[in-house]
Amino acid sequence: MNSIDDVPRLALNTFRFSDVDEFRSAIRGLNFEFTPFVRRISAEQTILSLPGCDVNLTRTFPRMVDAQLVENCTAVGFTMDDLDVPVRFNGSQRARPVVVIGSGGAAYTTIEEVQRQIASVVFRPEVRDRGWPATLSSFKIFEVSAAGLHRLRTVVREVLAEASGPAEAPELSLKGAAMKESLLGAVDEAFESVVSARWTLGPNDERNFRMFQDIRALLTEDLSQPIYSDEIARKLGLSVRTMHDVVRRYRGMSLHRYLRLRRLWLVRRQLLAGADSVKAVALAFGFWHLSDFSRSYRAQFGESPSQTLGRGRGR
């Protein structure tokens, strides 16, 4: 008698995470960097692999994300929930039905202030012949009709539900190909319902996005070194005001707060890896005022730096 595990099924897997670094290592298909806004996470990721297509459904956590799509694929993303707090995508935030799209090498940045449920469909190779919006170096966002987004969400839910059940082995490849075709059709319908919306001009502006990427790259070259606004602006050929405005637009926070949050999480990762000492790591990432650092660390993570180091060393 066959066990339930021997019953043929489509390649559907669900993973649950309570550890930030475990979640970080599970990301596929993206060069992915994120900074959580919360002390502890509770995330879930369901992945369905179909012929030439992956469907991802993720329950996220409040975080800041920078990502770049791998080559030779097209990704379409959208939320599966309707919350009052929309995702800040490429510097803009609107509570509207939207779909984002990017092809190989395209990048994006998001700010997710609350836990969300987000779906993405990644097609391999790149989709070039269906009249979908073209992208260059960054993902694009489009406002679509409520009906178009609803149809796309419905097809994703139905595909995932059907994939969770058993199937006859000879049917698997045919079923997978038919599911992919339904997903392609739903994306077609969504982009056929695009609404002309002036607010999308900002997040779809390649020049502004490249400016932000240049600032981010310079700021992350060596976070242990002092950061002076005048020097950064001079290197980038920008005014200090423009640089601060760009960071606030894409990060939703001041330059100072962004850097401090990044540094705190980098310190935490070093402590969990079993660093030599709290003081050495704090100083390495620019925290010279150690009592202020300890207060900020405890406020962010709910424990002292020495407690984190102790856990990292297995004590």
pLDDT exceeds cutoff 50 at 184: yes
Q: Quickly tell me which residue has 């179909």 as its tokens.
A: 50
Which whole number is the average pLDDT over 114-119?
A: 96
pLDDT of residue 2: 38
In sequence order, the 6+-apart residues with CB closer than 8 A to the CB of 12 are 46, 47, 48, 49, 160, 163, 164
Which SS3 state, helix, strand or coil, does residue 215 take?
Answer: helix
Largest CA distance in the chain: 73
Q: Give the CATH number of domain 4-201.
A: 2.60.120.10
Cβ atoms of residues 40 and 74 within 8 Å = no
pLDDT of residue 153: 98
In the chain, CATH 1.10.10.60 sits at 224-312
pLDDT exceeds cutoff 90 at 180: yes
| Average pLDDT over all residues of the chain | 88
For helices 255-272 and 240-251, angle between their N-to-C axes, nearest 10 degrees: 60
* Percent of the chain predicted with pLDDT > 90: 57
Half-sphere exposure of 287 toward its Cβ, with a 13 Å CA cutoff?
25
Could you tell me the two tokens for 178? Answer: 């038919």
pLDDT of residue 9: 55
Query: DSSP secondary structure string, 178-203?
Result: HHHHHHHHHHHHHHHTB---GGGGTT
In the chain, CATH 2.60.120.10 sits at 4-201
pLDDT tens digits for range 212-237: 999 888 877 766 666 777 888 888 89
pLDDT exceeds cutoff 50 at 158: yes
Please identify, in words, the CATH class of the domain defined by 224-312.
mainly alpha
pLDDT of residue 5: 46
